[in-house]
Homo-oligomer: A and B are copies of this chain.
Amino acid sequence: MNMTKHTFHETDEVLLRALQEDIGSGDVTALSLIEDGDMSEAVIIAKGDLVLAGLQFAERVFYLVDDRVAFRALKKEGSRIRKGEKIAKIRGKTGSLLSAERTALNILQRTSGIATLTREYVNAVKGFRVMITDTRKTAPGLRFFDKYAVRTGGGRNHRFGLYDGVLIKDNHIAAAGGIGKAVRRVRSGAHHLLKVEIETGSMSEVRDALKAGADVIMLDNMPEERMKKAVHLIRSTDGPVTIEASGGIDLNNVRRVAGTGVDLISVGALTHSAPAADLSLEFLSR
């Protein structure tokens, strides 16, 4: 990612809060033990296989603790890292490295964990013209980081939030009094650069969505056979409707879902249940 001051404005608020909750009124161990002039060198090492994502956030954490820390990336974002490989080399005051260590690893293990899981899904559908996308099921306050990790793992982002995309669900339709009314209202309320996606669960809902002129149709929690039929129906209609599969998709069934011919498969687990990547900071002996 192209990190500019503006991006830092976005990330720093989170990273400073994370540092604050870890360091608080001071790292009592380091403050007592480490002399001010003491310098160290350390490396970030993979303790398991992973896809690297978010190294610039880890770097930023060290910078926010002490801007004289030197940080050198040894691996590229999005690259596959094997257990035991070194990811970055860091040099600076021992006290600064110790104070930043945990916060830097905490963000990096999360973003790399998400990228690693995303890569697995992307690999599982290799050969199909389908995109793996995330959802809005991210950790509170960390959406910017979580969505970046999905992209770095090879996935695509869905809408960022409720403000940059229209997605009409059951309850919207019920409240509006029918699908046609719902689409009309949204077309006149939302600005002209937003498409309209409609969530469907049954074939009759798919037909209604098509009739109402949806730009995108989501097939939510459909069994595989129904999904196939829905894709066939939509593709046989005039106009370029995008199809998204969603709900109950995991590594066991994602390839079969891809086989139904949908354009996008959205997976909540990417951001809410990815295990952390295993990483540690090791100090080089003096």
Contact = CB atoms under 8 A, between A and B. Distances in A.
Contacts of A107: 140
A136 interface: yes
Interface in A103-156: 103, 105-107, 109-110, 113, 133, 136-145, 156
B276 A275 contact: no
A106 B103 CA distance: 22
A171 B40 contact: yes
Interface in A143-181: 143-145, 156-168, 170-172, 174-176
A73 interface: no
Given A24-B25, A141-B21, A66 B6 contact: yes
A14 B50 CA distance: 29
A29 B167 contact: yes
A200 interface: no
A264 B38 CA distance: 31
Copies in the complex: 6
The winner among A13, A29, A34 for most chain B CB atoms within 10 A is A29
Contact of A29 (B40, B99, B172, B191): B172
A251 interface: no
Contacts of A276: 137, 268-269, 272-273
Nearest to A65: B6
A186 interface: yes
Given A33-B175, A40-B171, A197-B193, A22 B286 contact: no
Contacts of A29: 162, 166-168, 172, 186, 190
A273 B168 CA distance: 32
9 contacts: A21-B25, A22-B161, A28-B162, A28-B165, A33-B168, A99-B162, A106-B138, A139-B139, A163-B164
A170 B285 CA distance: 10
Interface in A234-251: 242, 244
